[in-house]
């Protein structure tokens, strides 16, 4: 015998409000209903293990069925089931009273930190269904089948059901505006997305959706490398194998499991393609984990699972919470410790992987002080000669010959070894060490090196650095005497038509060019910073170059012996070539130079 009733809700129709404010993404109804079915099976499994269930429970399973002709979607389980009294309690009274409280408190807010407070997951069904029907039979002895039917209004019908076996059917009669879910392909993709790691087999269209084992729940000691790489392929089919991984398993002071993979990142687009997935008790929640992962680890891949992460009511975003901060700190520490272990255990292998993890580590150093404290011991610096050093190793190595006249330890670097080849060669000829700092963060990393190491100054190899680094034990004798040096200087000054190029006759080695154009490191940094930050209200900062004349170059002696016109012509050509190599020869000057050279062919 069936009966009708009215839900006691002292507000406007509750379901449109739930539909509008509770869930921004309607597709998650499948996640909520299948999660409830899983809970029903797990509860009965627990009761059975406690001896509170008579007889065998059999194998648990959830079956999802789509009837495209009738436009119905059914989620069936063989779990704990419900009696009519329990339907009254859990569907009509408890949840609806909670729903009313929610509406009163949060109806003017699109976001609410209430997940788990009201048990509203079931009502996500009304986002896509014009009518929802429950057919259920409790596991308890002598229970009879019960049904509950509601069209999304405050009216419902409850009575005798038609279920003959233990468990529950949730039957959705799809609404006309939600027929996108009347598709087997759509339902299959949603089940795969949200439910593929649930602990109870889920069958749809004759296939088990969740055959993959959630590897993060296994003990690390029971797993092999092949298990981790195979699981990575499960998460990201066709992706290149990861470099290494970190298995997280914490049960105090919060629950956190997961596996984080360090991928090979070829581009920002590739990094964006595969994100870290957040699960709550094996249910997929989101791949937007910026509140959990430190920003510098957002390029990692993998899975994090925690029931202790507070979600908003739709589980679509995370809430600010002390647990989240603790989890973030723990993950950062685990990553730092794992990298330290890899470096200590096999430095050669770590160095081989370094080009792929350079960005992670330097970003972490620049953005996380606690991470930086550990990472500074294994952050590697690559030299142009192919060697790798830690920061402390490099500073110790260059101390003897790269301390300038101001007692500053000068770290020479190139941010483009091809464009700055001549300058790198000039430095290497003096046995100076030049670092390759060519990454997107290295302009900031040089600042870190200076700020965290006393009396250290970083200078790009084409800056005004070598003049102060000429070793005191060098024994070259200039080919030119003082008078000849002054004459050479005047030749180039007469050939120069630019006001922003100054000249000096600091001696360089015979193997280098006749002249080399440098720029003040400070001026260049200020100019680049101004341009990067868009501070151009006073116009572009001026560029001041210095051209260093090599009085040890064989051509220098010839130049001072030439007649004035011939010497000036050679000086002009040498200056144009030097400017061309620095990208300074432009416009009319560049066109004139090219034309004159073609005429000589």
- Mean pLDDT: which of 304-313, 410-419, 539-548 is highest? 410-419
Here the CATH number for the domain that contains residue 532 is: 1.20.120.790
Confidence class for position 192, pLDDT limits 50, 70, 90: very high
Q: Is the pLDDT of residue 221 over 80?
A: yes
Residue 562 maps to a domain: yes
Here the CATH number for the domain that contains residue 436 is: 3.40.50.11260
Q: Which of 434, 469, 504 is the last residue of a domain?
A: 469
Are 69 and 152 in the same domain? Answer: yes
Residue 454 maps to a domain: yes
Are 265 and 177 in the same domain? Answer: no
* Stretch 213-227: mean pLDDT: 93
Q: At CB < 8 A and 24+ separation, what contacts does 287-295 make? A: 288/317, 289/318, 291/317, 291/318, 291/320, 291/324, 291/328, 292/318, 292/324, 292/327, 292/328, 292/331, 293/328, 293/331, 294/328, 294/331, 294/332, 294/364, 294/367, 294/368, 294/371, 295/363, 295/367
Are 161 and 229 in the same domain? Answer: no
Are 258 and 331 in the same domain? Answer: yes
Are 95 and 143 in the same domain? Answer: yes
Q: What separation in angstroms does the CA of 407 have from each of 410, 454, 462, 468?
A: 9, 11, 20, 10
Residue 375 maps to a domain: no
User: Is-contact 315 28, C-beta < 8 A?
Assistant: yes
Residue 362 maps to a domain: no
Residue 147 maps to a domain: yes
Are 127 and 262 in the same domain? Answer: no
Are 488 and 463 in the same domain? Answer: no
Are 130 and 184 in the same domain? Answer: yes
Whole domain around residue 258: which residue ranges?
Answer: 225-343
Q: Which of 291, 316, 343 is the last residue of a domain?
A: 343
- As for how many domains the chain has, the answer is 4
Residue 357 maps to a domain: no
Are 450 and 517 in the same domain? Answer: no
Top-confidence residue, 519 or 94: 519
- For 270-320, how does the pLDDT look when each residue is reduced to its tens digit (9 = 90+)? 555 578 998 988 988 888 888 788 888 888 999 999 887 765 544 555 555
- For 5-59, how does the pLDDT look when each residue is reduced to its tens digit (9 = 90+)? 555 544 445 555 555 555 567 888 999 899 889 989 988 998 898 888 888 899 9
| Tokens read off for 4 | 């009708």
Are 524 and 587 in the same domain? Answer: yes
């Amino acid at each position: 015998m069936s009966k009708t009733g009215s839900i006691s809700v002292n507000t406007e129709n509750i379901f449109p409000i739930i539909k509008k404010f509770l869930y921004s993404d309607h597709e998650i109804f499948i996640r909520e209903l299948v999660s409830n079915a899983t809970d029903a099976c797990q509860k009965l499994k627990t009761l059975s293990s406690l001896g509170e269930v008579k007889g065998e429970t059999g194998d648990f399973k959830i079956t999802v069925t789509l009837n495209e002709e009738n436009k119905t979607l059914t989620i069936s389980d063989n779990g704990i089931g419900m009696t009519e009294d329990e339907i009254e309690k859990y569907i009509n009274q408890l949840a609806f009273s909670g729903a009313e409280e929610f509406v009163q408190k949060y109806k003017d807010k699109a976001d609410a930190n209430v997940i788990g407070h009201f048990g509203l997951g079931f009502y996500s069904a009304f986002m896509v269904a014009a009518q929802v029907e429950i057919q259920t039979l409790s596991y308890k002895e002598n229970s009879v089948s019960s049904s509950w039917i509601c069209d999304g209004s405050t009216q419902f019908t409850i009575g005798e059901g038609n279920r003959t076996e233990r468990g529950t059917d949730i039957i959705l009669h799809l609404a006309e505006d939600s027929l996108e879910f009347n598709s087997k392909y759509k339902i299959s993709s949603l089940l795969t997305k949200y439910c593929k790691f649930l602990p109870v087999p889920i069958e749809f269209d004759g296939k088990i959706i969740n055959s993959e084992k959630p590897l993060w729940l296994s003990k690390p000691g029971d797993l092999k490398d092949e298990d981790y790489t195979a699981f990575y392929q499960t998460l990201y089919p066709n992706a290149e194998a990861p470099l290494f991984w970190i298995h997280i398993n914490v049960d105090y002071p919060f629950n956190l499991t997961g596996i984080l993979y360090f991928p090979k990142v070829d581009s920002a687009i590739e990094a964006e393609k595969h994100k870290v997935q957040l699960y709550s008790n094996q249910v997929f929640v989101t791949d937007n984990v910026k509140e959990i992962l430190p920003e510098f680890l957002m390029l990692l891949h993998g899975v994090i699972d925690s029931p202790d992460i507070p979600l908003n009511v739709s589980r679509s975003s995370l809430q600010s919470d002390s647990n989240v901060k603790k989890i973030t700190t723990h993950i950062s520490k685990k990553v730092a410790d794992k990298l330290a272990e890899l470096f200590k255990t096999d430095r050669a292998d770590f160095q081989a992987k370094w080009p792929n993890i350079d960005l992670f580590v330097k970003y972490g150093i620049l953005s996380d002080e606690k991470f930086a404290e550990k990472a500074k011991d294994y952050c590697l610096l690559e030299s142009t000669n192919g060697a790798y050093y830690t920061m402390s190793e490099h500073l110790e190595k260059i101390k003897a010959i790269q301390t300038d006249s101001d007692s500053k330890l000068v770290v020479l670097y190139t941010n483009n070894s091809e464009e700055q080849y001549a300058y790198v060669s000039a430095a290497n000829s003096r046995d100076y060490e030049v670092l390759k700092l060519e990454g997107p963060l290295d302009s900031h990393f040089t600042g870190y090196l200076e700020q965290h190491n006393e009396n250290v100054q970083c200078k790009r190899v084409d800056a005004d650095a070598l003049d102060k680094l000429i070793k005191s034990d060098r024994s070259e004798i200039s080919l030119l005497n003082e008078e000849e040096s002054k004459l050479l200087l005047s030749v180039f000054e007469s050939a120069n038509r630019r006001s922003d190029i100054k000249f000096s006759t600091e001696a360089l080695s015979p193997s280098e060019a006749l002249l080399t154009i440098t720029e003040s490191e400070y001026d260049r940094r200020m100019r680049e910073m101004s341009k990067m930050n868009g501070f151009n209200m006073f116009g572009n900062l001026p560029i001041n170059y210095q051209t260093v004349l090599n009085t040890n170059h064989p051509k220098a002696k010839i130049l001072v012996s030439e007649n004035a016109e011939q010497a000036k012509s050679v000086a002009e050509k040498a200056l144009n070539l030097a400017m061309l190599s620095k990208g300074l020869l432009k416009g009319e000057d560049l066109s004139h130079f090219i034309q004159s050279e073609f005429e000589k062919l």
